[in-house]
Each structure stands twice: as structure tokens, then as C-alpha cells.
Amino acid sequence: MGFGALVVGHAHPKLVEAVKHQVENGTLFGFESEDATKLAEVMCQRFNVDMVKFSSTGLEATSHAIRLARAYTGRRKILKFEGCYHGSHDSLLVSVKPTKARAGNPKHPTRVPASQGIPESFINETVIAPFNDLEAVNELMHENVDQVAGIILEPIPMNMGFIMPQKGFLEGLRKICDEYGCLLIFDEVKTCGKFYGGAEDAFHVKPDLKVMGKAVAGGLPLSVLAGKRPIMEQIVPGQIAHAGTFNANPLSVTAGIVTLTEILTKEKMGFVSELGNTLGKGCVEILEGVKVRATTQFLGLSGTIHFGVDRVANWRDFLEVDFGKWYTMYAAMLNRGIIPMGTGPDEQWTISVQHSKEDVEKYLEAFKEVAKEISQPSQAVPLVEAL
């Protein structure tokens, strides 16, 4: 499902018809359209934000969010979490998938660039923290007092499987940001499509800024920077830039309106979440039945299976996942005509509104056979060795 972008499924009839009509009436005008205002109103109401700005990709939107946080606070550093991915731009392409050998102290991770070509100054302005560890975040904020402009995170990190925030973690980050005078930024490029009202609706914690994308336009390129009015109003020409030829292009805007108002409705999202719950519980029962050591983490319409471990709460835990068993499962499910999730143990399944109870039942029937194969003795292969 396009790494979470296709919650509408493939070629949804309503989306196909709307996009076809828009193509016939123009795909790019060079001006904001009336429909952009309509989509903005839909998003503000659904995701409980004051204002929005449209761009095309998650990379653009997280980049804009970082620039806005720095301009608004007058500070330079950004705190992100080890293992989290926020787009391939220099400010956040640090400690995305560091090996244990390079990652350093679990409580005070080393800054590890995820690509060549990133200036050292960008790396030095990125503070790396372990996910689900408020004590470590507090210590790092104290070390960098009055220097951190914002804390950015996926409320549910999905670049290391599917990691749930522990009870009180998101609330604790909100408190820390208030105490240190920095912005809390939720990267909801994925989670905005996992729950009807996004992560705030699911966890009842309000960030200062949200970045959304993927599912909100049914798979067409659209991303959104959204947040509180006093912060968003700083984005004006000559003060804080937010430019782009394809920002709020009519094709993606039309797709966004139809997707959010006619396809990903509250009723449909509720039904799909029930399917996700059925799938997650089914996987747990099957694995327990064949005595395979694993933890299945799921919520809403997504989840994943971490083999060989009893819990995954952060990147260091994820490095202990048995990659060999995951690959066995993935290949065996493909051989039975089912793509079980995104490719790689760091991905998750996405159930679309076009899936049915029968699809989930078919998945679980195939998984019963596969789980028996997985239960056979084999040598564990940690992810870091496999890579």
C-alpha cells in the first residue's frame, strides 16, 4: 500500500473520477485555487489545527517545519530520535539507521550521518535521543539549554517496525517543550492516515506543529505543514520562506478533498481499524500457538511483527530483531500470493478501505502455514549482521 500512502487502496473509483475531471480542467495554474481553501478548512477541522501550508512531499514539509521552528524560537538545534526518518534532507538525515558499533551510549547516542555529503555543521546542530526515554531527553535538553528550537518525532516510529509510545512519553515531551521553550513537532506523514484525526486524536497530546502527507491525497503527492496560528502566521514572504511551484497544485488538492471527505471517512476508518485489530490479534495467537518468540505491535490499521524479541521500544531494541525469521516469513507469504507488509523488517502492514474481512482471513490462513515453517530451528540473524 505504498508504504502507508494508499489507505484508499489502488485506483479507488471516486478518486479516479475526480482526478480525471481535474486533469481535463488543469493540473497547474501558478496561483492558489479556491479548492486549496476548501481543503485547508477540511484539514483544520479534521486534524485540529489553526492553519496549514501545502507542499508536495514529506521531505519538503519536515524541512519547512525545521526552518519555522528555528526562526520562531531564534535557536538552531533540533532534537530527533535515534532510528527515526523524517525525509532525506541534511537537517534530519542523522542517526536514521546507525549500527550499534557506531551509535555509542544508548542514553546519549552519537550523531551518525546517514549519508555522505552532509555538512558537519548540520550534524552538530542535531541532538539525538533514545525513543521512549524521558529521562534521557531531559538530560539532553539540560545539556543544550536555550539551544533547541524543536523536538521532532513520529508519534509512532515506523522506520524501525512499529513502535508504540510508552504511557506518558508523548505527554512528557509536551511538558519538556513547554519547560524549555521549544516547539513540539509531530511528523505525521504516516500517522495522519492511520487514525481518522491523526496521532492527536489517538493519543490526546497536542503538538505545536504537525507534518502530514502520504495518505491525505490518496497517493498523489501532497504534504502539509500545520499548526498553531501564532507560529504559522510567521510564514510570510521576506520573513520565512515557503515557496514551491507545485505547492497546492489543483490535481493533488482535488485528490485531497475527495480522499478526506468521501473515502477516508470516520465510518470507513473505524471499519479498517477493526480489521487491523483482527489481523494483529490473529498474528499474536498464531505465533503463540507454534511457540515462536516474537512481539506483534499494532494499532489502528497498521502493525508489524518483530521476531526473536519480547519488546521493541527503541532503535537499540530493533537491532536485536531476528532478520532471518522475518525474511523467511516475508518470502513464504509472497509465495502464497500475499504481500504481508512493506519490504523490510523496519516496515509495517497497511490495511486500506478497499480491503475486506475476507482479505484478513486469507492473510491469517496463509500465516498459519508460514508460522509453522518459522517455528523450525534456525540460526538467528540480527538485522545489523544481515545488512
| Per-residue pLDDT tens listing for the chain (387 residues) | 999 999 999 999 999 999 999 999 999 998 888 999 999 999 999 999 999 999 999 999 999 999 999 999 999 999 999 999 999 999 899 999 999 999 999 999 999 999 999 999 999 999 999 999 999 999 999 999 999 999 999 999 999 999 999 999 999 999 999 999 999 999 999 999 999 999 999 999 999 999 999 999 999 999 999 999 999 999 999 899 998 999 999 999 999 999 999 999 999 999 999 999 999 999 999 999 999 999 999 999 999 999 999 999 999 999 999 999 999 999 999 999 999 999 999 999 999 999 999 999 999 999 999 999 998 876 555 554 444
Alpha helices in 74-133 (DSSP H): 100-103, 120-124
Architecture per CATH, domain 2-263, reads as 3-Layer(aba) Sandwich (3.40)
Domain boundaries for CATH 3.90.1150.10 within the chain: 266-374
Architecture per CATH, domain 266-374, reads as Alpha-Beta Complex (3.90)
Q: How far apart are CA 222 and CA 13, in angstroms?
A: 19
Domain boundaries for CATH 3.40.640.10 within the chain: 2-263
Residue 352 C-alpha from the chain's centroid: 16
Q: Which residues are catalytic?
A: 85, 187, 214
CA-CA-CA-CA dihedral for 86, 87, 88, 92, to nearest 10: -30
Please, is 11 exposed, middle or buried when counting C-beta atoms within 10 Å of its C-beta (0-12, 13-18, 19+)? exposed
Q: How far apart are CA 151 and CA 22, in angstroms?
A: 38
Strand partners, 349: 303
